[in-house]
Amino acid sequence: MMDGTDLSSSIMSVLFVYCTDYRRSAGAMAVVAIVLSPLSIGFGVYAIKQARYMFKRVAGAMLLINGACIFLMLFYIFSVISRI
């Protein structure tokens, strides 16, 4: 039979594996968001200078993708916190 310490250590090892996976996913989303942030701001400034709708659409799409990456990163972090 397993006593309480063995059970709690096995639960903690399983949680560590889940947290490690979430940490990698959140790190990847953070890198993508950090790369996309200056690019989307740059496209936004360029879209203001150039009066073409195509540049405005590209800037808007990049801002939406950047927002989605940040949202997913926060979702991963809150999911890890709720499992602990």
Domain range annotation of the chain: 4-83
Handedness of CA 66, 67, 70, 76 (dihedral sign): negative
Tens digit of pLDDT at every position of the chain (84 positions): 455 455 556 656 666 666 677 778 778 888 888 998 999 899 889 988 988 888 889 889 999 999 998 888 888 788 777 766
Three-class SS state of 26 = helix
Interatomic CA distance for residues 65 and 61, integer angstroms: 6
pLDDT of residue 55: 84
| DSSP state letters, 35-62 | HHHHHHHHHHHHHHHS--HHHHHHHHHH
pLDDT of residue 11: 59
pLDDT of residue 43: 87
pLDDT of residue 15: 62
